Amino acid sequence: MNDNEILKEFPIFDGSFTYLDSAATSQKPECVINAEKEFYEKYNANPLRGLYRLSVEATEKYEDAREAVRGFINAGSTKEIIFTRNASESLNLVAYSYAENFLKAGDEIVVSILEHHSNFLPWKNAAKKTGAKVVFLDCDSEGGISTEALESVMSEKTKIVAVTMVSNVIGRKNDIKAFAGIAHKYGAVIVADGAQSVPHMKVDVRELDVDFLAFSGHKMYGPMGIGVLYGKEALLESMPPFLYGGEMIETVTRDRTTFAELPHKFEAGTVNAAGAYGLHKAIDFINRIGMENIEKRERELTAYAYEKLSAIPHLSILGSKDAMDHHGILTFLIEGVHPHDVSAILSEKNVFVRAGNHCAQPLLKHLGSPSTTRASLAFYNTKDDIDRLASALSSVRPLMGYDD
């Protein structure tokens, strides 16, 4: 597909701006935008409840979406796919239902320093309630975490290893398969945060052997408000419900409740069926483009962006010195200019990037800077987008009064 064919799929791209904040949320193709409308126009009824045709159809659309997610990450069963609101809720589900029930005082939860707050705060909270301890797994100066580093913080006390597949700040990827092997050797479960990996690379939960995987629909061309938790069936079976309410029960009497089978045990209340339908269409869209093509194009764009930004005086890119370690995410500092000013100047030039702490304050502290500017790509970006970014960045210091 050429640039124009790709851009045509996304109605928001009218040529008036350059979008480089896809790590925050991706733009949506027309097929996904239309899907929510189609759901409400053709299939709207409360799923999983009604015995009439429309409700049965709504249920079918919802469960078809679950099957699409299962296939997309190669889970063994749809019982292992829980729909949530987003990656944050998926991670909280594991912390509330698994950690709070199975951890005890003295146990340890290993959390990498690369984590987004959503894969740190739930563990901190679970540790506070159970008396367990959060142990940090630090990265090296370029954001890498070796298997030796993980081994060095593991012990028989470790019960959970919570680690991101790809950092939302520096784009660095962890060797999750090797990490899973280490976690299992010590009898711990591994919780992988796939928010920044599932939209950009093939993620096969059985190949990686992760126990839990969390991700959001809105970062993978799908709607906001729908997310996924994958969990191994035996673990999910052993866990109590996270939220209580409608449709997550089998029977309720005055003094006894039995819960629904997986996955419905974890989906209390009316579900986001239109969102799931939209996510299904997003998965169809990714499959139509081909994940290998998405990855290839994003690799090329990352290499191009790394080269362009590296050539800008007074700009330093955080993390690895190897462009291929950045997976579409470049976080940088411009000497003497606050990242908020950088982002505001870029916005004036209709180039949209994120500035701040990227919801990863412990990592930013570790990297020695409380705030940075971040440009993040998706496959719909073009080399022209990168050229516009580079040109806008080159103007920042002169505009701030530096005579470079």
Binding site for ligand C6P (CB under 6 A): 23-24, 86-88, 116, 118-119, 164, 168, 193, 195-196, 216, 354, 358-359
Structure-token pair, residue 338: 């606050």
Cβ of residue 42: shortest distance to ligand C6P, in angstroms? 28
The residue among 50 and 362 lying less far from ligand C6P, judged by its C-beta, is: 362
Q: Retrieve residue 187's tokens.
A: 């009898």
> With respect to ligand C6P, which residue has the nearer C-beta, 107 or 193?
193
Name the residue nearer to ligand C6P (CB basis): 59 or 372.
Answer: 372
Considering beta carbons, is residue 183 or 213 the nearer one to ligand C6P? 213
Closer CB to ligand C6P, 58 or 364, in the complex: 364
Let me know if 359 is a catalytic residue.
yes
Residue 24 or 400: the one with the smaller Cβ distance to ligand C6P is: 24
* CB-closest chain residue to ligand C6P: 168
CB of 352 to ligand C6P, least distance (A): 12
Tell the smallest beta-carbon distance from residue 86 to ligand C6P (Å). 3
Least distance from ligand C6P to the Cβ atom of residue 331, Å: 10
Q: Which of 134, 249, 359, 400 is catalytic?
A: 359
Cβ contact 203:195 at 8 Å: no
Report the nearest approach of ligand C6P to the CB of residue 56 (Å).
31
Q: Smallest distance, Å, CB 67 to ligand C6P?
A: 22
Contacts for 88-92 with beta carbons within 8 Å, 24 or more apart?
88/118, 88/216, 88/227, 89/227, 89/229, 90/212, 90/214, 90/215, 90/227, 90/228, 90/229, 91/118, 91/119, 91/122, 91/162, 91/191, 91/193, 91/214, 92/118, 92/122, 92/242
Residues taking part in catalysis: 359
